[in-house]
Amino acid sequence: MKKKQRATFAGGCFWCMVKPFDQWDGVDSVISGYTGGHMENPTYEEVKQGKTGHYEAVEITYDPDVLSYETILNIYWQQIDPTDDGGQFHDRGDSYRTAVFYHNEDQKKEAESSKLQLEESGRFSKPIVTQILPATTFYPAEAYHQNFYQKNTDTYEEDRAKSGRDAFIKQVWR
């Protein structure tokens, strides 16, 4: 049995990035938080203001014997617009940019290969701008952000619907 692994992704609003991963066998947890910046223990308001350098992100703990990193990468790409360097959907600014944060050299190679495959697929007419970056300290977001889609279903569904994310996903991936 392999040791549990971590995968970290920034894909815009972290509320919208939890549910797509949370529902897979082999996923132990999906935590909303902040990573990639320079401030220790940032708050949501500080990250949102864009002064911390952090991305809103999710950290996934999973069992690689049940769910491969390649599958997790495929799930990730299908949740974002990898051609948008100004944020995601209606969430704009640096904290909402996309990135894959790798935890080891194998993840780095798989992420780079996956990104190249996406670039070569012809699915997008604009360049893929999602960065592949080394994982740094991950700071869990405040408790009210965790599992938001389960605790605040109506607000989550309303925000997600007006964001344009689902319309984009349907157009590009289905």
Cα(7)–Cα(5) distance, rounded to whole angstroms?
A: 7
Selecting among 7, 10, 13, 141, the annotated active-site residue is: 13
- Residue recorded with tokens 């990573």: 35
Strands (DSSP E) found in the chain: 5-11, 27-35, 55-62, 87-88, 91-92, 98-102, 131-134, 139-140
Among 51, 41, 17, 18, residue whose Cα is nearest residue 165: 17
Q: Would residue 16 show up in a list of annotated catalytic residues for this protein?
A: no
Amino acid at position 14, single letter: F
Residue 156 near residue 113 (C-beta atoms within 8 A):
no
Q: Which residues are catalytic?
A: 13
